[in-house]
Amino acid sequence: MAFWPSVVVATPAHSGVGASLTYRSELPLAPGTLVRVPLGAREVLGVVWDCLATPPEGLTEAQTKAVTGMLQGLPPLNERWRQLVKFAAQYYQRSLGEVALAALPPQLRDLSNVQLARRLKRRSKTGVDEHIPAGNVADGHDLSDEQRQALDALALAAAPVLLFGATGSGKTEVYLQATQRALAEHADAQVLVMVPEINLTPQLEARFRERFEPLCGAGAVVCLHSGMTPAQRLSSWLAAHTGQARIVLGTRMAVLASLPGLRLIVVDEEHDPSYKSQEGARYSARDLAVYRGKVETEALAAGERCQVVLGSATPSLESWHAADQGRYLRLAMPARIGGGALPRLRLVDMNHQPKGAVLAPPLIAAMAERIGRGEQCLVLLNRRGYAPVLACHDCGWKSQCAHCSAFRVFHKLDRTLRCHHCGFTERVPRACPDCGNLDIAPVGRGTEQVEEQLAGLLADVKRPDGGPARVARMDADSTRLKGSLEVQLATMHSGEVDVLVGTQMIAKGHDFRRITLVASINADSGLFASDYRAPERLFALLMQAAGRAGRDAAQSAASEMWVQTWYPQHPLFASLKQHDFPAFATTQLAERLSAGMPPYGHQALLRADARTQQAAQAYLNAAAQAAVGLPHFEDVTLYPAVPLTIQRVANVERAQLLVEAASRGALQRFLAAWQPVLLESRSLPEARGLIRFAVDVDPLVI
């Protein structure tokens, strides 16, 4: 007796290999079983998708290869997981195998059954408490009224919940209590908590461990993110898959983890762009979370559900709109814990500041005053390095990257010119490479320079203990070494540092208690960017940054958010001043509606990488030509191919073509019909020099 399992293996969407491959097996294999199968000369990991008792038509036994073996001791991936993967593959136009295998820990491929058995044994149960109290006390404090109301409403909500809670309103405590309740209700319940970047908020992990390890056992909380070693990832994944982990804390990749007991999914800071993957299958983990909650709920008994909670002080306009329409339930927590006020907005009109001032004198004076009182300040700017360009004023030479259409950034600390796109790094030349002029100078400014200037400007300012003011910097450069982020966060928490300069990294999620002043010194680029989402991102960034100030209620009344701008009359600032996200969202949504932009219209991008810009665009335009007459062609608009803003990176030319449709369904069906055409168009003569193409559905940046 033989069986014919169809197995999905890791094949990129464009390899031409079908959704699954048929193999032969002596034993029937349950769908979801993990197997090793031969593929060409290699042996690869695969997931059984289906298993037939008769060979598929046209296939003989001799034409199929046998399954090499199955991964023993692992329960099959369940049907809900497979449905999620299938949906993600279809929706984001990728192959089933690519999505399925990317969701598994890479180390699973290399493990023998003996090694696997050892791993599984090592993870044997550690003292689980069967009686988890439902809990209603926050770290020894009582819940605020708003927290309690939100939790009561959560208990009843059937739809996904949008938890619209101000910065410092205590959203984390709501997540913790909702988690506790979900775990108390079912002995095998699991909870998935997603955060944009786990490293930035070590406090969150600490709080979950502190709360749940005593209740559920030492191995109950695991993390899942790309910063982990392959062994750690495997270990977390196994714990989640076997049900030993009750709580998985992770970044966007965690949305595809196998969680057989899933009852609650929390997406913290749901507006954060990092939930959208920018490579491979370009999925939105937030959107998949909502889909996953629905699939899990459908499989449960009537009245039971897998709840989805999306939390933010500045929700995405997509989620906000869904709540307006009643698809999501909006729960608001406008008040900060302790009743503290949100910081007052102070706009600095740069038209009235001394010429060339990077930091306005009144801002420096305000910071000096705060430091003198033992309070802390944050200074935000979105550029790391010392200066974005180095230039020769004699001949016009600029620090262009040889491989990209971008300038290399001047890093003064190690005296390098570094390309932030391809990584190309060189020592700073002593003289202009073109004309020999010795006077080459930085243009514009980055975090290194602002740190240096602030240290100079605040040199005479004293802290209450009499010591000099201390300025530090936190960005991708200062936190590159393992452990350095934790150290820097600790110096901030302990009060060693008075002023922290940094990129948006410092604006996110931190609960620094002594910050009373936050300043954004070059926000204007977000006001007039061509990207229609730029205002949304700027508003969120400034609200989040402001949210770092005055978290200690005793000091909140005097806390301030300073914004340096050349356009103080811009309407975005009017809403920001009132901390009025709803007003901002309403005006933005009205603009989107009149322009047919998301969430009212739907978009996809076809991107092409090629040796020449001409080839990239020619491929895209040829693919658009070949789309004429496809199903739903009438319902979509295809725009001409254009180069990306940074059109060349690492000597690869990049172009894209926008597809728009009024209906998501029409767009989806058109893209499905277009996929084979995209593959065929690769062999057109125009496409010579094409390296790859990719479809990005619901792109965040167009």
Contact residues toward Zn ion (CB under 5 A) are 392, 394-395, 397, 401, 403-404, 419, 421-422, 424, 432, 434-435, 437
Q: Do 134 and 514 meet the contact criterion of CB atoms below 8 Å apart? A: no
Residue with tokens 């349950």: 30
Per CB under 6 A, the list member of 64, 169, 244, 565 interacting with ligand ADP is 169
Q: Do 311 and 163 meet the contact criterion of CB atoms below 8 Å apart? A: yes
Write down the least CB distance from residue 393 to Zn ion, Å.
Answer: 8
Write down the least CB distance from residue 341 to ligand ADP, Å.
Answer: 14
Q: How crowded is residue 221: how many other Cβ atoms within 10 Å of its Cβ?
A: 24
Helices and strands in the chain, H and E counts:
18, 30
Write down the least CB distance from residue 511 to ligand ADP, Å.
Answer: 5
Residue 443 is a binding residue for ligand ADP (CB under 6 A): no
Write down the least CB distance from residue 539 to ligand ADP, Å.
Answer: 17
* DSSP assignment letter at 14: T
Residue 178 is a binding residue for ligand ADP (CB under 6 A): no
Q: How crowded is residue 665: how many other Cβ atoms within 10 Å of its Cβ?
A: 11
Per CB under 6 A, the list member of 165, 196, 343, 699 interacting with ligand ADP is 165
Nearer to ligand ADP, 277 or 316 (CB): 316
Distance CA 471, CA 447 (A): 11
Residue 177 is a binding residue for ligand ADP (CB under 6 A): no
Residue with tokens 């503290």: 340
Residue 337 is a binding residue for ligand ADP (CB under 6 A): yes
Distance CA 191, CA 268 (A): 13
Write down the least CB distance from residue 406 to Zn ion, Å.
Answer: 6
Nearer to ligand ADP, 337 or 671 (CB): 337
Residue 146 is a binding residue for ligand ADP (CB under 6 A): no
Which residues share a beta bridge with 47? Answer: 8, 34
- The footprint of ligand ADP on this chain (CB under 6 A) covers a number of residues equal to 16
State the binding partner of 138 from ligand ADP, Zn ion, none, CB within 5 to 8 A by kind: ligand ADP
What DSSP element (H or E) covers 295? Answer: helix 285-299
Q: Is 450 helix (H, G, I), strand (E, B) or coil?
A: helix
Nearer to Zn ion, 242 or 425 (CB): 425
Nearer to Zn ion, 50 or 434 (CB): 434
Per CB under 6 A, the list member of 6, 11, 25, 144 interacting with ligand ADP is 144
State the binding partner of 165 from ligand ADP, Zn ion, none, CB within 5 to 8 A by kind: ligand ADP
Which residues share a beta bridge with 519? Answer: 379, 562
| Beta-carbon contacts of residue 94 (< 8 Å; ≥ 6 apart) | 12, 13, 88, 280, 281
Q: Is 219 helix (H, G, I), strand (E, B) or coil?
A: coil
Nearer to Zn ion, 413 or 435 (CB): 435
Residue 19 is a binding residue for ligand ADP (CB under 6 A): no
435: tokens are: 């004309």
Closest C-alpha to 506, from 376, 396, 597, 387 = 376
State the binding partner of 397 from Zn ion, ligand ADP, none, CB within 5 to 8 A by kind: Zn ion
State the binding partner of 327 from Zn ion, ligand ADP, none, CB within 5 to 8 A by kind: none
State the binding partner of 284 from Zn ion, ligand ADP, none, CB within 5 to 8 A by kind: none
Write down the least CB distance from residue 354 to ligand ADP, Å.
Answer: 37
Write down the least CB distance from residue 447 to ligand ADP, Å.
Answer: 24
Distance CA 97, CA 327 (A): 31
Which residues share a beta bridge with 192? Answer: 248, 265
Q: Do 571 and 587 meet the contact criterion of CB atoms below 8 Å apart? A: yes
Per CB under 6 A, the list member of 20, 95, 172, 235 interacting with ligand ADP is 172
Residue 511 is a binding residue for ligand ADP (CB under 6 A): yes
**583 Cα distance to chain centroid:** 25
Burial tier of 682 (Cβ tally within 10 Å: 0-12, 13-18, 19+): middle
Q: Dihedrals φ, ψ of 209, to 5°?
A: -65, -45
Distance CA 326, CA 386 (A): 48
Nearer to Zn ion, 410 or 584 (CB): 410
Q: Do 133 and 176 meet the contact criterion of CB atoms below 8 Å apart? A: no
Residue 138 is a binding residue for ligand ADP (CB under 6 A): yes
Write down the least CB distance from residue 163 to ligand ADP, Å.
Answer: 9
Write down the least CB distance from residue 167 to ligand ADP, Å.
Answer: 5
Write the single-letter amino acid at 227.
G
* DSSP assignment letter at 256: G
State the binding partner of 141 from ligand ADP, Zn ion, none, CB within 5 to 8 A by kind: ligand ADP
Nearer to Zn ion, 435 or 662 (CB): 435
Q: Is 248 helix (H, G, I), strand (E, B) or coil?
A: strand
Cis peptide bond prior to 599, omega within 30° of 0: yes
Write down the least CB distance from residue 433 to Zn ion, Å.
Answer: 8
Write down the least CB distance from residue 64 to ligand ADP, Å.
Answer: 54
Write down the least CB distance from residue 275 to ligand ADP, Å.
Answer: 17
Per CB under 6 A, the list member of 32, 97, 135, 168 interacting with ligand ADP is 168
Q: Which stretch binds ligand ADP (CB under 6 A): 93-101, 169-177, 422-430, 570-578?
A: 169-177
Distance CA 117, CA 122 (A): 9
By 3-state DSSP, what share of the chain in percent is helix, strand and coil, each rounded to 5?
35, 25, 40
State the binding partner of 168 from ligand ADP, Zn ion, none, CB within 5 to 8 A by kind: ligand ADP
Q: Which residues bind ligand ADP (CB under 6 A)?
A: 138-139, 141, 143-144, 147, 165, 167-173, 337, 511
